């Protein structure tokens, strides 16, 4: 009898859910596509920008139309420098190499559309004072291979696969004369068969400041997919940030070094990012973590007359070698 009641209850729920479905016809006006500009600048890098068109939110397609007839100009500190060259797939490149302190402005002109502009400042590297690391072995296993020596069979270790827990402590010195925004990014790089591979380490919001009661990374409060924080509570001070994560990699026997990855290392990057880039990443994080019944989050946009992001960042990188 109990199973019958459960069946009836499930049937009622399905009927109620089905009755809630209602097709709503959109009767509003579809606006013309806007120009979408995406670009990031950093010291000693060439300016490049991707230009495309926005799409209507009810459009079934998942791709954007690239724009190949734009007139893209680069201005440095208000002075025209060059027109960028179209390459492919909506990408425009220039020859100007960015320098710290420069104000870079892009002007995008497209036939039949209004001019679109954006501007940001090239940032100096953050003062990355030190990096302390520690790791704990969680699990490991040996991969072996049967080898023959005359009539004797023995088993040789090809590699050891390890899963480890890592704890990094990054110490930085904040510039007290300005408002600063930061991001921590960790990448594992390996070489295999002559090709360099890179893997982003998922910190899963495990970025936390030490010795401060207020949490600038909003851990436990908001999503922090991109590991960003500001200097709100440590302006002009030295601060230690800790990162905890797990990662696995294989240590190959030198005898079989040509069969697996070599030169494994962590690239630990402390980035100083512009306010617009910070707000863009912050709203991107929040938009991906809201519940079904939450208000939608508007993604930060600093493109005048269009959509997208023009951000600035600088990298200060320290390398941790993973010894075989």
Question: Is position 30 within any domain?
Answer: no
Which of 121, 152, 184 finishes a domain?
121
What pTM value is reported for the model? 0.80
Which of 99, 121, 143 finishes a domain?
121
**Residue 106 belongs to a domain with what CATH number?**
2.60.40
> Do residues 247 and 158 both lie within one domain?
yes
* pLDDT score of 41 more than 50: yes
Asked whether the beta carbons of 36 and 308 are under 8 A apart, the reply is: yes
Question: Is position 13 within any domain?
Answer: no
Q: What average pLDDT score do residues 269-280 get? A: 96
40 forms beta bridges with 311
> Do residues 134 and 99 both lie within one domain?
no
Tens digits of per-residue pLDDT, 78-100? 999 999 999 999 999 999 999 99
Between CA 216 and CA 208 the distance in angstroms is: 8
Question: Among 10-19, 49-58, 65-74, where is mean pLDDT lowest?
Answer: 10-19
The reported pLDDT for the residue numbered 57 is 54
> Do residues 102 and 144 both lie within one domain?
no
Burial of 184 (0-12, 13-18, 19+ CB in 10 A): buried
> Do residues 47 and 106 both lie within one domain?
yes
> Do residues 39 and 107 both lie within one domain?
yes
296 Cβ contact list (under 8 Å, min separation 6): 287, 290
Give CA 40 to chain center in angstroms.
12
Tens digits of per-residue pLDDT, 286-322? 775 444 444 566 889 999 999 999 999 999 999 998 8
Number of domains the chain contains = 2
Question: Is position 217 within any domain?
Answer: yes
The reported pLDDT for the residue numbered 265 is 92
Question: Is position 2 within any domain?
Answer: no
* pLDDT score of 4 more than 50: no
Question: Is position 24 within any domain?
Answer: no
> Do residues 87 and 208 both lie within one domain?
no
CA distances to 18, 85, 101, 162, 264 from 77, in Å: 60, 21, 9, 51, 41
**Residue 73, SS3?**
strand
Which of 60, 91, 121 finishes a domain?
121
Question: Is position 132 within any domain?
Answer: yes
Question: Is position 302 within any domain?
Answer: no
> Do residues 226 and 89 both lie within one domain?
no
Q: What residues make up the domain containing 50?
A: 35-121
> Do residues 152 and 173 both lie within one domain?
yes
Handedness of CA 249, 253, 255, 256 (dihedral sign): negative
> Do residues 248 and 172 both lie within one domain?
yes
Question: Is position 147 within any domain?
Answer: yes
> Do residues 289 and 240 both lie within one domain?
yes
> Do residues 210 and 152 both lie within one domain?
yes
């Amino acid at each position: 009898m109990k199973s019958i009641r459960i069946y009836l209850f499930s049937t009622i729920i399905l009927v109620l859910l089905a009755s809630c479905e209602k097709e709503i016809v959109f009767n509003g006006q579809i606006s013309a596509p806007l120009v979408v500009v995406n670009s990031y600048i950093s010291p000693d890098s060439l300016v490049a920008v991707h230009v495309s068109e926005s799409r209507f939110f009810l459009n079934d397609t998942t791709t954007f139309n690239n724009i190949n007839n734009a007139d893209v100009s680069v201005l440095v500190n208000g002075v025209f420098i060059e027109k960028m060259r179209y390459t492919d797939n909506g990408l425009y490149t220039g020859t100007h190499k960015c320098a710290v302190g420069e104000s870079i402005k892009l002007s995008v002109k497209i036939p039949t559309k209004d001019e679109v502009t954006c501007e940001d400042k090239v940032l100096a590297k953050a003062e990355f004072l030190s990096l302390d690391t520690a790791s704990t072995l969680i699990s490991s296993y040996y991969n072996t291979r049967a080898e023959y020596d005359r009539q004797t069979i023995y088993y040789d270790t090809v590699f050891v696969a390890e899963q480890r827990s890592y704890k990094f402590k990054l110490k930085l010195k904040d510039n007290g004369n300005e408002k600063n925004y930061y991001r921590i990014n960790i990448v594992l790089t390996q070489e295999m068969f002559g090709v360099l591979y890179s893997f982003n380490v998922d910190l899963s919001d495990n970025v936390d400041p030490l010795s401060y009661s207020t949490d600038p990374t909003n851990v436990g409060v908001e999503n922090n997919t991109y590991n960003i924080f500001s200097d709100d509570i440590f302006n002009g001070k030295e601060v230690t940030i800790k990162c905890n994560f797990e990662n696995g990699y294989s240590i190959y026997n030198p005898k079989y070094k040509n069969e697996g990855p070599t030169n494994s290392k962590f690239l630990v990057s402390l980035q100083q990012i512009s306010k617009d880039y910070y707000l863009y990443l912050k709203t991107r994080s929040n938009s991906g973590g809201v519940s079904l019944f939450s208000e939608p989050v508007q993604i930060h946009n600093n493109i005048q007359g269009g959509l997208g992001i023009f951000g600035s960042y600088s990298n200060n990188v320290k390398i941790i070698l993973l010894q075989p």
